[in-house]
């Protein structure tokens, strides 16, 4: 590779390298000659190099200035690596949206570093000869050096641990999981919008792996509050000196709503929304019990407005007394704590029938439930509707503390449909979104 190094440029005595008219013309045969990793391999750390060869690289845009967290920069990636490309223009996202494939001819461009981050640029400012400043490709010359080739499927982020990030991962779109910000930073914003000051916030996993979330003071989300949970963060991996940094494209790159390190994890013990079950017949899910203590009516799965749910009513049964039990599969509370139950209900044509929720640590899971001891649970259950109540009522969070080991939860419907209209208790109840959780 034929380089003009910084020392030579300094001897030339120029404050800024002027553009020479490029002779290259784009053709359909202008195919990539080098991968991005191969270009990285050509670079000598600490140097600035002007590329003299007719080399061409190709990649997809993975970041741009759409939210102003990247300034006069696009980032491109191929299967081997990634590289920031400096362009002296604004609104680059209009011509270079994420997913756009581009080819770049390298002859006449520069490879240089900023804080240890390798970049591709168009000019070299030698106002400070000790630290030459790499500038962007002039806007007027962008079509000469960069060819847009149309959108491609988006590049998927590569998942790493913080300690795995190094030179070869620079500028890649990476994903880190199990990350959280320091608790003292969760009340802060991404950056200082008032003073337009960029900020770096420590971002760690539960093993104390560390990177810094770096955000520009000009970013459109600069004033937004930082997330206070644990979870996934993805973005462009950069460095400044020895500090590993992550720049997000927008706030959709963060999903940090889980429990923080050291906090108990919320575990789902049972969940049922009835969406995968057939309608119009007796509910018969695996592990569930649907017992008629008196009368013949049973809970069924029904469908309305695209939603499935369990339903029961005593109407038209002509039963003097109706008592039906819907019993959930056994729930093991041995390995969790702070267990809670929640569900939602709605009712129609309420004339006095009732729906209760009960819990038992004695039920055997197969025989008549009324022969065992059950404890009522305090829950909000829909009632009082004349027609169909179109709004679902949440039960609230119902504590199961005080129980341990294996327990059963049951919904018990009680009503009547005698000939005397004044004695009828045939209220229709609908039940959905049953969820039992506990802390590990």
pLDDT tens, residue by residue, 311-322: 999 888 888 889
pLDDT on residue 179: 98
pLDDT at position 316 is 83
pLDDT of residue 14: 37
pLDDT at 24: 55
Q: Which residue has the tokens 């910084």?
A: 6
So what's the pLDDT on residue 30? Answer: 58
How much is the pTM? 0.60
Give residue 38's pLDDT: 98
CATH fold group of domain 6-151: OB fold (Dihydrolipoamide Acetyltransferase, E2P) (2.40.50)
Give the pLDDT score at 263: 75
Residue-level pLDDT at 16: 40
User: How many other β-carbons are positioned within 10 Å of the β-carbon of residue 408?
Assistant: 21
Tokens 């030339």 correspond to what residue? 12
Predicted pLDDT at 26:
58
What is the per-residue pLDDT across 395-432, written as a single tens digit (0 to 9) for each?
Answer: 999 999 889 999 999 999 999 888 898 888 999 999 99
* CATH code of the domain occupying 158-262: 2.40.50
Integer Cα distance of 22 and 4 in angstroms: 17
Fold: same for 6-151 and 158-262: yes
What is the spatial distance between Cα 14 and Cα 33, in angstroms, rounded to a whole number? 32
pLDDT at 128: 85
pLDDT in tens, 226-242: 999 999 999 999 999 99
Q: Which residues of the chain have pLDDT under 70?
A: 1-30
Cβ partners under 8 Å of residue 244, min gap 6: 162, 165, 210, 211, 212, 237
Name, in order, each residue with C-beta under 8 angstroms of 188's C-beta and a sequence gap of 6 or more: 199, 201, 225, 226
The domain limits of the chain are 6-151, 158-262, 268-439
347-374 tens-digit pLDDT: 999 999 999 999 999 999 999 999 999 9
Q: Does domain 268-439 have CATH number 1.20.20.10?
A: no
């Amino acid at each position: 590779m034929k380089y003009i190094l910084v020392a030579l440029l300094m001897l030339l005595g120029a404050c800024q390298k002027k553009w020479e008219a490029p002779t290259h013309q784009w053709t359909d045969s202008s195919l990539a000659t080098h991968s991005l990793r191969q270009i990285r391999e050509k670079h000598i750390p600490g140097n600035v190099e002007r590329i003299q060869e007719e080399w061409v690289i190709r990649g997809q845009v993975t970041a741009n200035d759409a939210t102003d967290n990247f300034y006069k920069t696009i980032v491109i990636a191929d299967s081997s690596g990634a590289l920031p490309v400096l362009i002296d223009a604004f609104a680059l996202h209009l011509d270079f949206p994420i997913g756009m494939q581009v080819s770049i001819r390298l002859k006449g461009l520069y490879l240089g570093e900023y804080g240890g981050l390798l970049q591709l640029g168009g000019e070299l400012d030698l106002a400070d000869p000790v630290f030459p400043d790499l500038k962007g490709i002039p806007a007027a010359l962008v079509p000469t050096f960069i060819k847009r080739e149309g959108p491609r499927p988006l590049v998927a982020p590569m998942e790493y641990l913080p300690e795995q990030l190094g030179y070869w991962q620079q500028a890649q779109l990476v994903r880190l999981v199990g990350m959280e910000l320091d608790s003292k930073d969760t009340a802060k914003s991404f950056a200082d919008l008032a003073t337009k000051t960029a900020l770096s916030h420590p971002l760690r996993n539960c093993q104390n792996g560390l990177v810094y979330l770096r955000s520009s003071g000009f970013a459109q989300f600069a004033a937004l509050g930082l997330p206070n949970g644990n979870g996934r963060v993805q973005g462009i991996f950069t460095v400044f000196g020895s500090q590993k940094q992550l720049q997000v494209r927008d706030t959709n790159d963060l999903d940090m709503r889980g429990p923080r390190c050291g906090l108990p994890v919320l575990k789902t013990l049972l969940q049922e929304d009835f969406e995968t079950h057939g309608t119009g017949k007796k509910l018969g899910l695996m592990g569930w019990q649907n017992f008629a203590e008196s009368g013949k009516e049973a809970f069924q799965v029904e469908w309305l407005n695209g939603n499935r749910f369990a339903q029961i009513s005593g109407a038209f049964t002509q039963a003097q007394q109706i008592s039906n039990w819907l019993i959930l599969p056994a729930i093991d509370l041995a390995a969790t704590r702070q267990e809670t139950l929640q569900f939602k209900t709605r009712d129609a044509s309420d004339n006095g029938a009732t729906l209760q929720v009960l819990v038992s640590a004695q039920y055997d899971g197969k025989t008549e439930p009324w022969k065992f001891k059950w404890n009522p649970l305090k829950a909000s259950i829909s009632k009082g509707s004349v027609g169909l109540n179109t709004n679902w009522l949440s039960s609230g969070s119902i504590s199961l503390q005080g129980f341990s080991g294996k327990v059963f939860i049951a919904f018990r419907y009680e009503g009547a449909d005698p000939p005397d209209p004044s004695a009828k208790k045939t209220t229709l109840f609908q039940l959905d979104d049953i969820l039992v959780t506990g802390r590990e």
